[in-house]
Amino acid sequence: MQDYIKGLNERQKEAVLHIQGPIMIIAGAGSGKTKVLTTRIAHLMASGIDSFNILALTFTNKAAREMKERVEHILGNSEARNLYIGTFHSVFARILRAEAHRIGYPNNFTIYDTDDAKSVVKAVINEMHLDDKLYKPATVYNRISSAKNALVSPADYATDYYVQQEDIRANRPAIAKIYDAYCKRCFKNGAMDFDDLLLKFYELLKTNAESLSKYQHKFKYILIDEYQDTNPAQYEVIKLLGQCMKMFAWWATMRRVFTVSAALPSRIFCSSRKIMMK
């Protein structure tokens, strides 16, 4: 038996050794989810799977760093080098650096941090002669950010009855126009904000069959830690990438360690969405 398997409990071993087909783990806090995920990467590679084909995602920089360190600890630095391992934002930014031209951005696009993005929102608000006490840049930016993470485009935002009613009730009916102008400004500036790193990668996969096929074939093994935290944009990207692949995702809200495998990734995603709603 490989060294890395020793010391795992039976359920952990079962999850690590499962290679083909989608699998979702439902487990509680501190039960060894990240340990299993990182050990599973080592096991995939020991089973002859190229590191180039493995994508491991998580949400915070801290969690990504921890995941990387743990994999390096098991595999050594050089073996781990080619893995795509990191936060959704950092991994998608890395891919967009090679692909952004396909959706009209320069590959050396600027990344706006939250402060940069809020300054652009503020400039747009001022240019539209709106009262920035009512249209507070931070509030408007948060509204735009939520729309982007729910994959609601400016056109959808402007025509969604409930969204519009909310803005009217809050006395901010011009947010749709600000959102549209903000997106156009970012595009003109060759810039993406943090939310765009998800959204534009989604757009790339959705509108460019060649890129979709390329990344579907590249990322044959997708591992997601803290899967319960995925927002709609992340979920749709993963669903697109995982259409014909071997998925591996974590669900971390329940107490027991529990593994589920199913024939189709879509069924996993369907069932995971149902669990999330409970």
Ligand X SMILES: Nc1ncnc2c1ncn2[C@@H]1O[C@H](COP(=O)(O)OP(=O)(O)OP(=O)(O)O)[C@@H](O)[C@H]1O
Measured CA to CA, the distance from residue 159 to residue 224 in angstroms comes to 34
Candidate residues 18, 35, 214, 218; the one interacting with ligand X per rule CB under 6 A: 35
Candidate residues 31, 39, 51, 211; the one interacting with ligand X per rule CB under 6 A: 31
State the residue number with the nearest CB to ligand X: 32
* Candidate segments 29-37, 99-107, 111-119, 132-140, binder of ligand X by CB under 6 A: 29-37
DSSP 8-state code for residue 270: H
Q: What track of x and - describes contact with ligand X for positions 201 through 240 (by CB under 6 A)?
A: ----------------------------------------
Residue 45 CB, nearest approach to ligand X (Å): 19
Binds 12: which of Mg ion, ligand X, none (CB < 5-8 Å by kind): ligand X
Name beta bridge partners: 261.
Answer: 23
DSSP line for 98-136: HHGGGGTS-TT-EEE-HHHHHHHHHHHHHHTT--TTTS-
Torsions phi, psi of 220, nearest 5?
-80, -20
Q: Could you say whether residue 30 binds ligand X (CB under 6 A)?
A: yes
Measured CA to CA, the distance from residue 189 to residue 127 in angstroms comes to 16
Q: Could you say whether residue 9 binds ligand X (CB under 6 A)?
A: yes
Q: Could you say whether residue 51 binds ligand X (CB under 6 A)?
A: no
Q: Which residues bind ligand X (CB under 6 A)?
A: 7-9, 12, 27, 29-35, 252
